[in-house]
Structure 1
């Protein structure tokens, strides 16, 4: 068994299995995402959908880090690209896309084939930006997992190149590559 030190405590693990502290962090992140959406879509005080109040912006700035934290947790454990997981994700997303689309047809009193067809294309034609980002992360996972085995010098070069793409082209010049931070690069 390999001994690892975390947070001053010694833990013995064969591999990176479940950790109760990480699971607690995931639950807190879920709560933060719910609170973010409450501020944004419910109270409309975060500045995205409605007016921005100082308290709404401060609270939202605190809660919004939960999305990045989920990605960091995924990166820590490594994303395993399995077809079964991709199929399960598709079925779940398609269910939450097709059913509301059918209800909207019922309320409107008309059936639109194009909207019905697009409701099945959840990885590319949905209103959920995070699903598209997760799918791209899913496909980039083998490359990201391989980065763990490169030398420290090459790792720093890769990190610097991604930083230039993110900060210079994205945030500074507002390129379509990365202007908002809500994309697969981040």
Structure 2
């Protein structure tokens, strides 16, 4: 297959981006919103509701990383795309920080430093880690294309054994691997490699029922592992979390979503805005003042109502953030920023 021989639209994976970002919003309500800490040690119905929702949704970030490799391995390396991503991040760090200043919040020099230099100051861990990945993307793509299917398959299995399974079995965070619980460049590179390998496989042969079984059984193992062995089973590199992430990714990757599907208009509208949802709702100041420990009161709801309330709140946050991101996209199109950045591609 020739690289970039024909433009391919992955509507199925764009749908996965939407679903994954919704899951990410949900996990932030549960985690940063204070519910996880509030139910710690209770072991009642609320404990199980919060933690199973958390674990079932926690595959989202791994899925995002797998998408990067699956699609990215066969895409051009363009400086204009990287610059466009940086401008998107910079827009939100500066505008949102400015809004907080206008509303009278006391900001210090560190807040403004982060607004002007969002990547190097790690305003968003995924953005900083992803930019690190982009530095190595040409090398990763060359390496993936140079390996045979058998060699790449062996590499994928070896990575799983060394960086995921063995540390979890020994309940030992191997600092020298620099995995940082999965919150870092090293783990995104691993996901990129796995995604690139999955691109070569005939995923449609894998039964949907089998994938769903893997997802739910692996999620149960994650819950049992983190409670009986150690928290390492809840980190992104956890072997059970990796398996459940792979199951969900393959489920969407093998889905033949035709251009005539009724889902396509929704995908086309929401998918381009999905990353903006992350940048808006998890801006450091929004996180600090509007998210951290703000949702503990939801635990006063009846058990059956709690999941519904969590889904509703996640939907509202996702929808509002998407609308704001669509407005930014419209502004950038009117300014023709992408066209103006295209000159950068002449240098690569």
Cα deviation for residue 35 of structure 1 reads 1.7
Task: Measure, in 1, the Cα distance between the counterparts of 2:58 and 2:77.
Answer: 27
Indicate the larger mover: 95-104 or 80-89. Answer: 95-104
Correspondence 1:17 to 2:15: no
Indicate the larger mover: 124-133 or 72-81. Answer: 72-81
Greater helix share, 1 or 2? 2
Cα deviation for residue 51 of structure 1 reads 4.1
Alignment correspondent of 1:7: none
Of structures 1 and 2, the one scoring higher in RCO (CA 8 A, sep 6+) is 2
Correspondence 1:28 to 2:28: no
Task: Measure, in 2, the Cα distance between the counterparts of 1:21 and 1:98.
Answer: 33
Alignment correspondent of 1:65: 59
Alignment correspondent of 2:186: 185
Paired residues for 1:122-141 under 5 Å:
122-141=118-137
* Residues 161-186 of structure 1 deviation map (CA, whole Å, 9 limit, x = unaligned): 67535566796234161241221222
Task: Measure, in 2, the Cα distance between the counterparts of 1:46 and 1:174.
Answer: 26
Task: Measure, in 1, the Cα distance between the counterparts of 2:123 and 2:165.
Answer: 26
Correspondence 1:39 to 2:44: no
What SS does structure 2 have at the residue aligned with 1:180?
Answer: helix
Q: How many residues align?
A: 170
Cα deviation for residue 62 of structure 1 reads 0.7
What SS does structure 2 have at the residue aligned with 1:41?
Answer: coil
1:75 to 57, 69, 85: 69
* Residues 112-138 of structure 1 deviation map (CA, whole Å, 9 limit, x = unaligned): 445423321111103311111111121
Alignment correspondent of 1:100: 96
Alignment correspondent of 1:172: 172
Greater strand share, 1 or 2? 1
Task: Measure, in 1, the Cα distance between the counterparts of 2:161 and 2:139.
Answer: 17
Task: Measure, in 2, the Cα distance between the counterparts of 1:16 and 1:55.
Answer: 43
Decide whether aligned partners of structure 1 residues 25 and 113 sit closer, same or farther in structure 2, where only a CA change above 3 A counts.
closer
Runs of 4+ in 1 over 4 A off after TM superposition: 103-106, 111-114, 165-171
Decide whether aligned partners of structure 1 residues 80 and 174 sit closer, same or farther in structure 2, where only a CA change above 3 A counts.
same
Task: Measure, in 2, the Cα distance between the counterparts of 1:40 and 1:161.
Answer: 29
Task: Measure, in 2, the Cα distance between the counterparts of 1:184 and 1:163.
Answer: 19
- Give yes or no for contact 2:29–2:35 (8 Å, CA) kept in 1: no
Q: Taking structure 2 as the reference length, what is the TM-score of the superposition?
A: 0.42
Q: Taking structure 1 as the reference length, what is the TM-score of the superposition?
A: 0.73
Task: Measure, in 1, the Cα distance between the counterparts of 2:150 and 2:11.
Answer: 34
Task: Measure, in 1, the Cα distance between the counterparts of 2:160 and 2:139.
Answer: 14
Indicate the larger mover: 51-60 or 127-136. Answer: 51-60
